[in-house]
Amino acid sequence: MAEITGAQGGGVAELPRAKMDSKLLVPELNEAEAMGAETARFEELLLQASKELQQAQTSRPESTQIQPQPGFCIKTKSSQGKVFINICHSPSIPPPADVTEDELLQMLEEDQAGFRIPMSLGEPHAELDAKGQGCTAYDIAVNSDFYRRMQNSEFLRELLITIAREGLEDKYSLQLDPEWRLLKNRAFLGSISQQNIRSQQRPRIQELGNLYTADSLRPKEGPERPHLNLWLEAPDLLLAEIDLPKLDGAVGLSLEIGENRLVMGDPQQLYHLDAYIPLRISSDESKAAFHRKRRQLMVAMPLLSVPS
């Protein structure tokens, strides 16, 4: 069992390699019988997703180049100096889920982590500001239709800027000043470079919420079963996101990964997850990290074999 420790001052806490408990390797007979048709259906979904991913990798390149269009620019700063963020757009970026502002506000108030704004975060580039002083600029591209919708909503604009800033902080280990200013007379600073984006979205696997887990045999009272989302990032790599909105950090969080089992718990007994995964996982090579801002446990599980 791997003890999960939080990182001081960072957004993501790296975890030790996940270890396996020998008792997790072979489910008990009555558990295997309980999986039934639901497990078979999940295996079929995994097989289909794996084949789609393999076909996509052989039929088209892993990435494609886009030229984002300028939108607006905000000014902030980091410990290294002034920072400008060019918010751009492109029809090639996938749009976020189509929800109303009221629905989105309710999701945020309930601390749900299910809403995402797909965006492409460009590399930093050195520029000169209006006074001829050195600064750093970043280009962030979102879907064009979403950008046009955002222009008429101050709420969506504030949300996008917040998520974009967090994305830059996570990707480039920045600490941006919480204060920022919208530039009124210029849509971007410097030049907007082309960006490489994923050619095809990874095939998502159906969430495990309605599939068999050992948790389904537990009484309803007690620790909550967290929301679990799985997808194949590559034919030999399975990724998982576990939403833990009630936790502020990873201290004491435990994770056990067997060849086909994922078990997670916390010292406060707020959550318990015991999920059967009908794939052979390399437990020794599995890694996990706790994302403090999203309050998510992210797990990368290399596969020993994939259905073919």
Does 84 or 261 have the greater pLDDT score? 84
Please check the confidence at residue 59 and state whether its pLDDT lies above 70: no
d(CA 179, CA 172): 19
Q: Average model confidence (pLDDT) for the chain?
A: 76
- Residue spans per domain, the chain: 64-193, 227-302
**Whole-number pLDDT of residue 106:** 75
Q: What angle do CA 219, 225, 230 make, to 5 degrees?
A: 140
Q: Which residues contact 57 (CB under 8 A, 6 or more apart)?
A: 235
pTM of the predicted model over 0.85: no
Give percent of the chain with pLDDT exceeding 70: 68
CATH architecture of 227-302: Sandwich (2.60)
Give the mean model confidence (pLDDT) for residues 38-60: 55
**The two three-digit tokens of residue 261, written as one number:** 């089992």
Q: Determine contact, residues 90/141, Cβ cutoff 8 Å.
A: yes
**Whole-number pLDDT of residue 15:** 44
